[in-house]
């Protein structure tokens, strides 16, 4: 019974890993007003998967308007073991806000290539500079 349960658990984990063969790093960015902060959102393929450089990958900012932030996708870079989206942000006021980037890309393993559409998020915290505080 235990070995049967373990086998079913293994099959379920295999299905989950096959469904999304990558890990994404969605950062929390801390900045101050009117200062540009750069950060990366990493997309790391699981073992056996790699970035399909032949597919025309696209990353764009969500159409949701956020008047607090001025966001620029500077580049997306493919390296041997991961890909990352390089982003810069300037915040106009104190508080928190989310940046949402929509992506469409392809990953391959030795037998197949798959196309993925996913959302990537960064949480931005804008705070007062330490030097500006009154004593």
Q: What domains, with CATH codes, occur in the chain?
A: 22-132 (2.60.40)
H or E element at residue 3:
helix 2-19
Q: Which residue has the tokens 């030097």?
A: 131
The answer to whether 59 touches 51, Cβ cutoff 8 Å, is no
| Predicted structure pTM score | 0.76
Residues 6+ apart with CB under 8 A from 35: 90
The answer to whether 107 touches 54, Cβ cutoff 8 Å, is no
Indicate if the pLDDT at residue 131 is higher than 90. Answer: no
The answer to whether 131 touches 111, Cβ cutoff 8 Å, is no
Q: What is the pLDDT of residues 63-91, one digit of tens each?
A: 776 668 899 999 989 886 788 999 999 99
């Amino acid at each position: 019974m235990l070995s049967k349960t373990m086998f079913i658990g293994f099959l379920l984990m295999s299905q989950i890993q096959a469904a999304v063969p990558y890990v994404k790093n969605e950062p929390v960015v801390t900045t101050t007003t009117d200062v540009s902060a750069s950060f990366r959102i990493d997309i790391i393929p699981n073992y056996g998967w790699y970035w399909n450089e032949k597919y025309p990958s696209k990353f764009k900012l969500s159409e949701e308007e956020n008047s607090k932030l001025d966001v620029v996708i500077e580049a997306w870079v493919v390296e041997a073991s991961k890909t990352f989206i390089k982003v810069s942000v300037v915040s106009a006021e104190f508080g928190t806000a989310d940046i949402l980037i929509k992506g469409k890309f392809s990953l391959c393993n030795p037998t197949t290539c798959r196309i993925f559409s996913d959302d990537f998020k960064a949480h931005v915290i804008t705070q007062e500079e330490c030097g500006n505080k009154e004593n």
